[in-house]
A and B are shown apart, each in its own frame.
Chain A
Amino acid sequence: MTAVAVGGLDSRVVGRERSLLRRLRYVGVPAAVAIACAAMYLYVQSQELDNIESRIINARVIRTAAFEQIEIALWATALTLVVAVPLGIALTRPWARRVTPIIIALANIGQGVPAIGLLFFIYIVLIRNGSTAAILGMAIYAVLPVLRGTMVGLQQVDRGVVKAARGMGMSKRSVLFRVEMPLAVPILLTGVRTALVLTVATAVLAAFIGGGTFGELIIGGQAQGRPLAVAVGSLGAATLAILADWIGGIAEDLLRPKGL
C-alpha cells in the first residue's frame, strides 16, 4: 500500500494490479482449503463409521496429528535456518571460494537421498526418538533450498552497490548486514518458503518411525483397509502444506524491503 502511495505512475498501475492479485491470493487460498475441509467433514458425517474407522477418524486424533506435524515442521525449519543461512553467508565470502562447491555437493546429496531412507537411517543409527529423528531428517532435507536461497540472494546483489558501499567506508560487516542481507531477503525468503512447504509435506513420513502426524492416519488406514482414513489423512497433510505455502507467501510480501 505504501509503495502505491509513493510510486510514480507506472509503478502505481503495476502496484495496483499486483495488490489486487495479492488480495485474491490472500483470501482465495484459505477459502478453497476451508471448502475442501468442510466438504470432507460433511461427507464423513454422512457415513456410517465402523469401529476401526471411528477410532482413526475423530477430532482428537486429527488435532494431535496436526499439532505433531506442525511441530516437526517448525522445528525442522528453524534448525535449517540456523544452519543454512550462516552457512550460505559464509560460502559467499571470498575466502570460502575453494570449499563452496564441496559443501554445495554435500547439500545436494542431502536432498538427493530418498527422504524415507534418510529418516530410517537417522532413527536406527542415531536417534531412537521418532519426533526428534524426524526433525533432524526434515532439516537435512530442507537445508538445500535455504542454502541456495541465501547464496543466490547474496550473489545477485548488484556488485556496484557493494562497491559503492565499500567505497564510502562501510566495513565489510555493515555492508553484509545493512546492504547485502536486506537485498538478499526476497530470494532468501523464497528458499525458506520452499523449505517450510517441503518439511510440512514430508513430515507425514515421521509416522513410519513413530513420530505421529497425518501420516499415521494414512498408514493406519492403508494397513487396515480403510480408504476413508487415508483420504482424511491425505487431506489434512495437504491442507497444512498449502497453508504453509500461503503463510510463506504473505511473509515474503511483508518482509520484502520497500523500494525493491
Chain B
Amino acid sequence: MSTARAASEPMIRLDQLTKHYPGQEAPAVDGIDLAVPQGEIVILVGPSGCGKTTTLEMINRLIEPSSGRIFLEGEDVTHVNPDHLRRRMGYVIQQIGLFPHQTIAQNIATVPRMLGWDDKRVNDRVEELLHLVGLDPARYRDRYPKEMSGGQRQRVGVARAMAADPPVMLMDEPFGATDPITRERLQNEFLRIQEDIRKTIVFVTHDIDEAIKMGDRIVILAEGSRIAQYDTPEAILTNPASEFVEQFLGSGILLKRLNLSRVEDVHVATSEWMTIGPDSTAEHARQLLQQSGRTHLLLLDDQRRPARWIAEIDLDRQGGFPAELSEAGTRVQACVDSRATLNDALQEMLLNANGVAAVVDRDGAYAGTLDLETIIAAIREMRAKALDEASSTAARGVT
C-alpha cells in the first residue's frame, strides 16, 4: 500500500491528529497538521494548556490519539506496537526520570539492551555517549544518579535518549528544571552536539527565548494545539502572523533577535584589551596597562582561561613587590563561549564592571572580547536585513 518514500518526505508528519478526552467539551489537540523536516529542531511553543505536550506525547503514543495519523519516515505508525515505536525515538523530559537504582552506564544502556545489543557494543556506546555529553566515563559511569548534579543528570538524560541512535528525539522542556546558568550551558552544548548528529528533534518549551535560540523552526501553538504560525525564528520575529503571535512574542522583539545571532557570527575583538599571563609581575602589569591606555587588563591563568580583570588601582593596593597578581582585581565571573547567543553575551556584559564580556573557545581558553558597540552594530545589521526581506516579500506578494 505504501510506496517508496519520496525524497521530500518529512521525518515526522502529523495528519489531522486529534486528542479528545472523554468528558471534555473541547479537544485538547484539534486536528493538527505538521511536517517535521529531517535533521531539524522544531520547537512547539505556546501558552500553558495549549496542548503542546499532548501533541508531543501523541508522536510516541504515550497518549493515544483519538483520530488522525502519525507518519514516521513516511510509514504510518498510528497503529504499530507503541513499545517498538518508542525505541525508534529518543525521549527526554523535564523530570529526566533517570532510574535511581541503576548506575549511569546502566541507565544509558536501557534501550540498547532492549534491542538486544551485545555487551561490548553497549559498553562502547555508553563510553562514546558520556564523552559526547562531556562526562568522563571513568569517573561517572558507575555512579548512581543521586551522586550527580542536576546539570549532569540532564546530560545523562540526553545521552540515554540518544543511546540507540534513534533518528528522532522528542524533548519535553528538557532544560526547564535547571538554573539559568546551567540551562544556558546545556543549551549551548546540545546545539554543539546537534551540529554533529543532525537528529530530527521535536522540542516543547513554554519559553519563547529558548524557542528562538534552539529552533530551526518554531511552531507557535494556540489553544487546542492550533498552529498560529510555523516558520523560522527570523521569519516569526520579522513577520508575526497574527496579533496572538505578536502578543506571545511579547515586548522587546529587537532584544529577542539577539537570541538568533551567536558570538561566533560577530566580530570578536582580540586586541582591544591587554592580557597578561600568570607568571608576570605587578610592575609588568602596570606598564602594560599604561601603554594600553585602558582601564583594565585581563589576567589569564596557566591554561589561558580568563581569570581576573585588573585595574591600575588594584595594582597599587598590592603595596610593595613582588605582589600576587592572582589575588588582584575582580574575578571573571563567567565567560561566554562562541556558541552562546548575543543575548547571553549581553547579560555577561551587564554583569561585568567594565561592560565587556570575555569570549572563550571550546576548551575555555581566551578568544577575545565582546563589547556593547559590537552588539549594537549587530542589531542594526539584523534590523536592516529584516526590513529588506520584509519589503521584498511584500513586493513578491507572498503572504
Most chain A CB within 10 A, of B87, B101, B144, B157, is at B101
- A6-B144, A163-B93 are known contacts. Are A169 and B100 too (CB-CB below 8 A)? no
A62 within 8 A of B: no
CB <8 Å contact, A169 and B114: yes
- A163-B95, A167-B86, A258-B101 are known contacts. Are A11 and B110 too (CB-CB below 8 A)? no
CB <8 Å contact, A161 and B142: no
Q: For chain B, which range describes its interface: under 10, 10 to 19, 20 to 34, or 35 or more residues? A: 20 to 34
CB <8 Å contact, A166 and B100: no
Q: Which chain A positions have C-beta within 8 A of B84?
A: 169
CB <8 Å contact, A183 and B85: no
CB <8 Å contact, A169 and B97: no
CB <8 Å contact, A170 and B97: no
Which of A166, A167, A168, A183 touches B101 (beta carbons < 8 Å)? A183
Which of A8, A163, A169, A258 touches B85 (beta carbons < 8 Å)? A169
Q: Which chain B positions have C-beta within 8 A of A169?
A: 82-87, 111, 114
CB <8 Å contact, B101 and A158: no
A-side interface mostly = helix
Q: Which chain B positions have C-beta within 8 A of A163?
A: 62, 93, 95, 97
A259 within 8 A of B: yes
- Interface flags for B266-279 (1: CB within 8 Å of A; 0: not) read 00000000000000
A225 within 8 A of B: no
Q: Which chain B positions have C-beta within 8 A of A11?
A: 146-147
CA distance A164 to B91 in the complex (A): 7
Docked complex: B159-179 residues within 8 A CB-CB of A: 160-161, 170
Most chain B CB within 10 A, of A11, A162, A164, A260, is at A164
Q: Which chain A positions have C-beta within 8 A of B359?
A: none
- A160-B93, A170-B114, A171-B83 are known contacts. Are A165 and B99 too (CB-CB below 8 A)? yes
From residue B18, how far is it (CB to closest CB) to chain A in Å? Answer: 21
Docked complex: A184-235 residues within 8 A CB-CB of B: none
CB <8 Å contact, A260 and B91: no
Q: Which chain B positions have C-beta within 8 A of A258?
A: 101, 144
Which of A6, A165, A182, A257 touches B97 (beta carbons < 8 Å)? A165
Q: Who on chain A is nearest to B90 by CB?
A: A168
Most chain A CB within 10 A, of B100, B142, B170, is at B100
Number of A-B contacts (CB under 8 A): 83
B205 within 8 A of A: no
CA distance A6 to B144 in the complex (A): 9
CA distance A244 to B101 in the complex (A): 27
CB <8 Å contact, B97 and A161: yes
Q: Which chain A positions have C-beta within 8 A of B146?
A: 11, 259-260
Question: Could you tell me how many residues of chain A have their Cβ less than 8 Å away from some Cβ of chain B?
Answer: 25
Most chain A CB within 10 A, of B93, B96, B99, is at B99
CA distance A159 to B62 in the complex (A): 13
CB <8 Å contact, A158 and B114: no
Docked complex: B104-158 residues within 8 A CB-CB of A: 110-111, 114, 142-147, 157
Q: Who on chain A is nearest to B57 by CB?
A: A167
- Interface flags for B334-364 (1: CB within 8 Å of A; 0: not) read 0000000000000000000000000000000
CA distance A158 to B114 in the complex (A): 22
- A168-B91, A179-B99 are known contacts. Are A6 and B83 too (CB-CB below 8 A)? no
- A6-B143, A6-B147, A166-B62 are known contacts. Are A160 and B95 too (CB-CB below 8 A)? yes
From residue A253, how far is it (CB to closest CB) to chain B in Å? Answer: 15
From residue A146, how far is it (CB to closest CB) to chain B in Å? Answer: 21
CA distance A142 to B184 in the complex (A): 53
- A6-B147, A160-B93, A167-B91 are known contacts. Are A183 and B83 too (CB-CB below 8 A)? no
Q: Which chain B positions have C-beta within 8 A of A164?
A: 91, 93, 95-98, 157
A28 within 8 A of B: no
Q: Who on chain B is nearest to A11 by CB?
A: B147
Which of B83, B85, B96 touches A170 (beta carbons < 8 Å)? B83
- Could you list 17 examples of A-B contacts with CB < 8 Å? A6-B142, A8-B147, A158-B97, A160-B97, A161-B97, A161-B99, A163-B62, A163-B93, A164-B97, A165-B99, A167-B86, A168-B86, A169-B87, A258-B101, A258-B144, A259-B144, A259-B145
The 9 A-B pairs of least Cβ separation, nearest first, read: A164-B97, A160-B95, A259-B144, A169-B86, A167-B91, A169-B87, A257-B101, A160-B97, A161-B97
